[in-house]
Amino acid sequence: MPRLPFNRPYLAGREIDYVREATLARHLAGDGSFSRRCQAWLEREVGCPKALLTHSCTAALEMAALLLDVAPGDEVLMPSFTFVSTANAFVLRGGVPVFVDIRPDTLNIDEARIESALGPRTRAIVVVHYAGVGCAMDAILEIGRRRGIPVVEDAAQGILARWRGQPLGSFGALGAVSFHETKNLQSGEGGALLINDPTLIERAEVLREKGTDRSRFIRGQVDKYTWVDVGSSYLPSEILAAFLWAQLEQASAIVEERLGLWRMYHEALAPLEQAGRLERPRPPAEAESNGHIYYVMLPDAAARDRTLARLVSAGVHAAFHYIPLHASPAGRRFGRTAGPLPVTEAVATRLLRLPLWIGMTADDVARAVEALESASG
């Protein structure tokens, strides 16, 4: 029997046509017609004043650190249960990640622990919407407003997901999304910076264009462009934007298909949860997921590792997820914890992600469930 991969990139339909169109138009660098279409789609669907495509979500987070003027010694609150880019973007500016524990239901930063983690050097609160499930943004924004601290959303996994009806990425001063081939909407590599604070738009355009005012020149606002600030080259090529546009055109259908697979898993695994063999996800009612990840929690680390090995041997390629950043060599070197992180540490050893990708069938889901039932016994 062929293996069931953990992830499989897909074509929504018109990617090759649009790449060909971009190529024949002789505009291969960034900010062409496909880039503008993608950015307008993000502004409309997320509801942000400005969206700028980047070559990765990492690049968008790096831009966020620059826009917030993070300086050496500034502290940035964030969860430890996240990808390294969340921390690295701020460490590159000399920032100090302060790792806060997560909630057991959402696996997102625990808003009840943020206030006590704040200090005189806190420069930003960075939240991560794990698995496309929103953080408690109302409570977190209230803390930020009260203390005068901006909030940044790492919404790498959160496109078209919502918290209390509002799109993820539209809450904080800045947001970042990913279009990596493992995400719901894909361009191989790619991302976007979502700017919700209008006062940051003009500088964001400068930072993205190597520190020049080229965007103003293109709009005819200046007669030449020059170096005016720090910056780097954060634009994706028009080829990537053309590929992405084909996916954005089908975004709603893609999310619905993923949610359908998520629900199949959730229903089929209920008996194993009732038998005490595992725990299923339990996102709160306020969080409208986009079906990015389906995971289960095994009883302990030994059970997770044993189950994972058995699944892989059976041709079902499941996966664990993050090694907590606070436990990594670089995390210990560059950051610190805001007290104990018991939920983070337990989740990291017990979590198991199951295959979920566009094109999976009901039979594929059934095969993964049957293999999990056998492997977890």
C-beta separation of 153 from 171 below 8 A:
yes
Do the Cβ atoms of 87 and 78 come closer than 8 Å? Answer: yes
Residue type, 166: Q
pLDDT in tens, 307-326: 999 999 999 999 999 999 99
Segments in the chain below pLDDT 50: none
Burial 30-56 (b: 16+ CB within 10 A, else e): bbbebbebbbebbeebbebebbbbbbb
Q: How many helices (H) and strands (E) does the chain have?
A: 15, 13
* Closest among 373, 368, 338 to 356, alpha carbons compared: 368
What is the pLDDT, as a whole number, of residue 223?
A: 87
- What pLDDT sits at residue 216? 85
* pLDDT at residue 288, rounded to an integer: 97
**Domain limits, the chain:** 15-249, 251-375
pLDDT of residue 198: 98
Contacts 24+ apart (CB under 8 A), 310-314: 310/371, 310/374, 310/375, 311/368, 311/371, 311/372, 311/375, 314/371, 314/374, 314/375
**pLDDT tens, position by position, 17-40:** 999 999 999 989 989 999 999 999
Global confidence as pTM = 0.96
How far is the C-alpha of 337 from the C-alpha of 324, rounded, in Å? 11
Give domain 251-375's CATH architecture. Answer: Alpha-Beta Complex (3.90)
Which residues neighbour 134 within 8 Å (Cβ) at sequence distance 6 or greater? 106, 108, 158, 161, 162, 163, 164, 168, 286, 287, 288
Closest CA to 134 of 154, 114, 113, 151: 154
What pLDDT was estimated at residue 214? 86
CATH class of 15-249: alpha beta
Helix/strand/coil for 212: strand
